[in-house]
C-alpha cells in the first residue's frame, strides 16, 4: 500500500471550510486548475466524491462532513508540532531526568544541584544512578539523560561532551596518620600502605607509572571499586587513598589531604549527552545548571555554606 500524501490534509481542510474550489485555491495560493487536480487526488485517495455539484455550488458528502470534524484538529496539531518551541516555563516544568554519575559526584555536587533545580523548577525530579562502566548505550536509548565522568576512548563519537572542571589527584589519610602534617617525599609516599581505586580490576594506575619513573613502587594493601570506598578505608586505617581533589572534597572532610610529591597527569571531568537532546530546552537548562553547579566558584560557595 502506497503512503498517502499528507499535504492533501491541508488541501482537504481548506476545501471543506470554503466549499468552493476557486476560493480554496486563492486561500492556498494555487491556480484553479491545480486545486481541481488536488480535489481529484483527494477523491481517488478517499474513494469518495467529497464535494458534489448542487446548483451553482458544491455541497459536502456525508463522508466529507465526517472528515471535516477530524481533519481540522489534525491539521492544527501538525502545525503546532512544526512551530518553534515556546519559551520554557521552568515554574510549570514537570519532568524527570536521569543522571548517571561516577563515584563521589553526587556526594560532592548533588546537594547544590538539587537545591538549584528546586529553586527554579520545583516540578523537576532528578534521578541519580551509579556509573559502573563507560557503555554509551543508556544515553543512546534514552534511559539516561545526562552523564558525568572522564571521557575515554570507549565513549561513542556521536555523543556531545562539555568539560565541567579539571581535577588533580591528592593523597588522603586519617587526621592522626603518621604522614598527616609532615613533608611528604616520594619515598615516604611509596613506603606507606595504599588502597587502590580500580573499577575494572586493574592493579595499576597513573600513580604507579609516575613512581616507576622514580624507581619506586608502592604497596597495595586493598583494592576497591570507587573513591567513597577508598576514603572510608583510609578514614578507619593507616591506608593512603589517592583520589581526585575536587571530585571528593565533601568525602574528604575530617581527613588530612596532601599534594602528591611527584607529577601525575590530571583528569578532565565532563558531562556527556546524546545529540538528539541538543535543542531540547529543558535539557539545555539542566546542562547549564550542572555546569554552574560544578564551577569552582559554586563549589567554594557550597563548601563555605556547609562549614558555616
Instruction: Map residue 286 onto helix, strand or coil.
Output: helix
Check whether 154 has a pLDDT greater than 70. no
Per DSSP, 48 falls in state S
Which cell numbers in the block locate residue 158? 556521536
Residues whose CB falls within 8 Å of the CB of residue 135, separated by 6 or more in sequence, listed in order: 154
Per DSSP, 278 falls in state T
Interatomic CA distance for residues 252 and 303, integer angstroms: 12
Rounded to 10 degrees, what is the CA torsion of 157, 163, 166, 171?
A: -60
* Domains observed in the chain: 7-82 (1.10.10.10), 90-167+268-307 (3.40.190.10), 169-265 (3.40.190.10)
- Calculate what percentage of the chain has a pLDDT beyond 90: 53
Picking from 28-42, 91-105, 112-126, 151-165, which range would have the lowest pLDDT averaged per residue? 151-165
Instruction: Map residue 290 onto helix, strand or coil.
Output: helix
What pLDDT is attached to residue 281? 92
Interatomic CA distance for residues 195 and 239, integer angstroms: 6
Check whether 241 has a pLDDT greater than 90. yes
Give the bridge partners for 128, in sequence order.
99
Check whether 12 has a pLDDT greater than 90. no
CA angle, residues 160, 124, 307, in degrees to nearest 5: 90
Q: Decide if 26 contacts 12 (C-beta within 8 A).
A: no
Q: What is the rounded average pLDDT of the residues 269-284?
A: 92
Interatomic CA distance for residues 63 and 4, integer angstroms: 18
Residue 296's CB is within 10 A of a number of other CB atoms, namely 10
Interatomic CA distance for residues 124 and 93, integer angstroms: 7
Check whether 287 has a pLDDT greater than 80. yes
Q: What is the rounded average pLDDT of the residues 147-165?
A: 83
Residue 190's CB is within 10 A of a number of other CB atoms, namely 20
Give the bridge partners for 243, in sequence order.
170
Alpha carbon 27 to chain centroid distance? 44
Phi, psi of 86, rounded to the nearest 5 degrees: -75, 155
Beta-sheet pairing, 57-60 with 51-54: antiparallel
User: 104-137 pLDDT, tens per residue?
Assistant: 889 889 999 999 999 999 999 999 998 877 778 8
Query: Which band of pLDDT confidence, cut at 50, 70 and 90, is reported for residue 301?
Result: very low
Can you list the alpha helix ranges (DSSP code H) found in 29-136? Answer: 32-46, 62-82, 105-120
User: 242-272 pLDDT, tens per residue?
Assistant: 999 998 999 999 999 999 999 999 999 999 9
Q: Decide if 179 contacts 192 (C-beta within 8 A).
A: yes
Query: Which band of pLDDT confidence, cut at 50, 70 and 90, is reported for residue 231?
Result: very high
Q: What is the rounded average pLDDT of the residues 281-291?
A: 95
Query: Which band of pLDDT confidence, cut at 50, 70 and 90, is reported for residue 304?
Result: very low
What pLDDT is attached to residue 299? 52
Q: What is the rounded average pLDDT of the residues 99-103?
A: 88
What pLDDT is attached to residue 308? 38
Per DSSP, 246 falls in state G
Amino acid at each position: 500500500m502506497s503512503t498517502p500524501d499528507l499535504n492533501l490534509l491541508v488541501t482537504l481542510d481548506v476545501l471543506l471550510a470554503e466549499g468552493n474550489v476557486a476560493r480554496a485555491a486563492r486561500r492556498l495560493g494555487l491556480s484553479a486548475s491545480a486545486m481541481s487536480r488536488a480535489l481529484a487526488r483527494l477523491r481517488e485517495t478517499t474513494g469518495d466524491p467529497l464535494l458534489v455539484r448542487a446548483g451553482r455550488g458544491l455541497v459536502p458528502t456525508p463522508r466529507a462532513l465526517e472528515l471535516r470534524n477530524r481533519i481540522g484538529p489534525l491539521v492544527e496539531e501538525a502545525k503546532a508540532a512544526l512551530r518553534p518551541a515556546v519559551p520554557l516555563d521552568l515554574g510549570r516544568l514537570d519532568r524527570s531526568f536521569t543522571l548517571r554519575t561516577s563515584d563521589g559526584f553526587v556526594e560532592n555536587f548533588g546537594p547544590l544541584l538539587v537545591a538549584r533545580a528546586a529553586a527554579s523548577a520545583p516540578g523537576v525530579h532528578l534521578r541519580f544512578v551509579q556509573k559502573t562502566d563507560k557503555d554509551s548505550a543508556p544515553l543512546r536509548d534514552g534511559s539516561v539523560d545526562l552523564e558525568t565522568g572522564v571521557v575515554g576512548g570507549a565513549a561513542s563519537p556521536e555523543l556531545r561532551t562539555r568539560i565541567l572542571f579539571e581535577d588533580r589527584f591528592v593523597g588522603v589519610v586519617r587526621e592522626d596518620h603518621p604522614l598527616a602534617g609532615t613533608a611528604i617525599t616520594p619515598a615516604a609516599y611509596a613506603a606507606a600502605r595504599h588502597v587502590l581505586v580500580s573499577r575494572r580490576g586493574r592493579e595499576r594506575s597513573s600513580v604507579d607509572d609516575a613512581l616507576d619513573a622514580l624507581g619506586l613502587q608502592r604497596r597495595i594493601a586493598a583494592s576497591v571499586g570507587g573513591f567513597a570506598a577508598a576514603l572510608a578505608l583510609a578514614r578507619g586505617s593507616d591506608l593512603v587513598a589517592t583520589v581526585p581533589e575536587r571530585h571528593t572534597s565533601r568525602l574528604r572532610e575530617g581527613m588530612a589531604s596532601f599534594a602528591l610529591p611527584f607529577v601525575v597527569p590530571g583528569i578532565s571531568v565532563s558531562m556527556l549527552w546524546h545529540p538528539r537532546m541538543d535543542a531540547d530546552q529543558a535539557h539545555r537548562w539542566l546542562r547549564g545548571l550542572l555546569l554552574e553547579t560544578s564551577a569552582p566558584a559554586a563549589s567554594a560557595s557550597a563548601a563555605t555554606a556547609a562549614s558555616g
